[in-house]
Amino acid sequence: SRFDLVIINGVVATAADCGSYCIGIKDGKIAALAQAFSPEEIGDAEVLDAEGAYVTPGGIDAHVHIAQDLTTGPGVASGATCADDFDTGSRSAVAGGTTTMVAFAMQTKEDPSLLQVVEDYHKRASDTGCWIDWSYHIIISRVDKDTIRPELDALVKDWGITSLKCFTTYDALRLSDHDLMWLMLEARRLGVTTMMHAESGDIIAFLTEKLEERGMTAPSFHGQSRLPIAEGEATTRAIVLAELVQTPVLFVHVSAASAADAIRAAQSRGLPIFAETCPQYLHLTHADLERFHGPLCFENSKMLCSPPPGLNDDDQEHLWTGLRNGTFTIYSSDHCPFSFKYVPNGCPGIETRLPLLFNYGLMTGRITPEKFVELTSTGAAKLYGMYPKKGALLPGLSDADITVWYPEGKLKPFKLTNEHLHHDVDYTPYEGMEFANWPRYTILRGKIMWKEGKLLGKAGDGLYMKRGESQLAKSPVGMKKDPRRVPLWLHDE
């Protein structure tokens, strides 16, 4: 027949529009969108009645740490291991409406070959299998001028890895400004998108030293060691480097108002500067890091992440405004799954990402349905070279990756506990928050993977995906450049 599966009575939202449409799916692809299908068109296809609920493209989580080595990376306690592997992490994703993820493959200072790093991570993924489609960003901790060019070349050609992440903090990962410029220029040549972790390593090291002198080492002081000004400084500095090199940069996990303002100002000057924020910065504040006192003070570490949550609701409001006005292109979880006993430097959140923005953004009217889709799916697909296979519902072009929500009033509102979730982590920072909606069905390439609280798919249903060049992040070739700011001779190839 014409379709394998049809979704009827949905309010279908994409980044472009929102309306009452039926969706026809054939061979794992979107085959048709229409006001209605005739009984002949439906034939013997399976029919899923959305009962008037929102139907959105499956979530794309473009910032997750899965099966990542942490002893030399952002992890704090030595011996800490990532709690989620590709099986449990992606299982949690599917239960929260996410159908694609991009995980990090991290080079350590000792790893000689980037290709070897990716092969190692790919073995981890192949060993367990994955519930959803996935790809990798490469984390670069060492700029080896003799080998990096052919290696990045091979990552693009052989693996479809078209994005790299670099750090301005952590001794094990941080690059000097010199190396950052060097790397950015290589990224520019290859059309690879640079992702920047911007927090001043020197400000953090200085404040940490001074806190330690005073014995202020409890988890609640984490926010004092990583003040917003450290993020603002490094963001401003990296924007200068990006302008000099004339290459696009995406700032990951933006938490500080000063960083968001610097990004917005750069965008207003026409620079290809992009930004990501995460649920923890919209829902947690510094007060959450200090909630518990006395013997319970280690409970505070459940809210610990880097950069830390903002000082107060003003910081949160600033980020909500940034989501609305286009400062932020993507909203990712930064799922960083540590067992609580390790004093985690990061929050789990691959499963709660979409429900949080749906309940607290879309349902409250803070963002439109179109914006919800742009932030959770389409933006990442375009930014990281997956569009329109992912992030859209274009007939004949897009994979049938779909999240069907509950119709209003159908799901009894509930308070979240960690038992609801499918990750392998022993806590959620969002314990006790209220939810009135949640993904009812999650569909991956036409297959129903999650239905009304039950997992139907398996690890192994997900496919590795080679990505193409970013459709958003392009070097500003046509832009008039000021020779006092930009060395034109560096860019005239």
Residues that bind ligand DUC (CB under 6 A): 74, 197, 252-253, 306, 334, 336, 345-346
Q: Which tokens sit at 121?
A: 């991570």
Identify whether the C-beta of residue 10 lies closer than 8 Å to the C-beta of residue 404.
yes
231 touches Zn ion by CB under 5 A: no
Q: Which tokens sit at 244?
A: 């000099």
- d(Cα 142, Cα 156) in Å, to the nearest integer? 18
Of the residues 26, 29, 174, 197, which one makes contact with Zn ion according to CB under 5 A: 197
Nearest distance from C-beta of residue 458 to ligand DUC, angstroms: 28
Give strand pairing partners of 135: 102
Nearest distance from C-beta of residue 33 to Zn ion, angstroms: 35
Identify what 335 binds: Zn ion, ligand DUC, none; CB under 5 to 8 Å per kind. none
Nearer to ligand DUC, 197 or 467 (CB): 197
Q: How many residues bind Zn ion (CB under 5 A)?
A: 3
> Given the structure tokens 């949160």, which residue do they identify?
316
- d(Cα 148, Cα 69) in Å, to the nearest integer? 21
Give strand pairing partners of 455: 450
98-106 and 59-64 strand pairing: parallel
Nearest distance from C-beta of residue 336 to ligand DUC, angstroms: 4
Identify whether the C-beta of residue 476 lies closer than 8 Å to the C-beta of residue 271.
yes
Stretch that binds Zn ion, among 40-48, 189-197, 234-242, 479-487 (CB under 5 A): 189-197
439-444 and 193-197 strand pairing: unpaired
The b-or-e profile of 393-409 (16+ CB within 10 A means b, else e) is bbeeebbbbbbbbbbee
Nearer to ligand DUC, 130 or 304 (CB): 304
Nearest distance from C-beta of residue 75 to ligand DUC, angstroms: 9
- The verdict on whether omega for the bond into residue 388 sits within 30 degrees of 0, i.e. cis, is yes
Nearest distance from C-beta of residue 106 to ligand DUC, angstroms: 10
Nearest distance from C-beta of residue 305 to ligand DUC, angstroms: 6
Nearer to ligand DUC, 138 or 444 (CB): 138
Stretch that binds Zn ion, among 93-101, 134-142, 195-203, 436-444 (CB under 5 A): 195-203
Nearer to ligand DUC, 15 or 175 (CB): 175
Nearer to ligand DUC, 197 or 390 (CB): 197
Number of other residues whose CB lies within 10 A of the CB of residue 1: 12
Task: Identify the H or E element spanning 152.
Answer: helix 148-159
434-435 and 414-415 strand pairing: antiparallel
Nearest distance from C-beta of residue 443 to ligand DUC, angstroms: 29
Identify what 345 binds: Zn ion, ligand DUC, none; CB under 5 to 8 Å per kind. ligand DUC
Nearer to ligand DUC, 59 or 349 (CB): 349
199 touches Zn ion by CB under 5 A: no
- The DSSP call for residue 58 is P
Nearest distance from C-beta of residue 286 to Zn ion, angstroms: 5
Nearer to Zn ion, 300 or 359 (CB): 300
Stretch that binds Zn ion, among 196-204, 240-248, 386-394, 435-443 (CB under 5 A): 196-204
Q: Which of residues 4-43 bind Zn ion (CB under 5 A)?
A: none
> Nearest-CA neighbor of 64 among 308, 330, 334, 303?
334
54-57 and 402-405 strand pairing: antiparallel
334 touches Zn ion by CB under 5 A: yes
The dihedral region occupied by 78, where left means phi > 0, alpha psi between -120 and 50, and beta the remainder, is beta
Phi/psi for 404 (5° steps) reads -110, 125
Nearer to Zn ion, 64 or 443 (CB): 64
Nearest distance from C-beta of residue 464 to ligand DUC, angstroms: 22
The binding site for Zn ion (CB under 5 A) comprises: 197, 286, 334
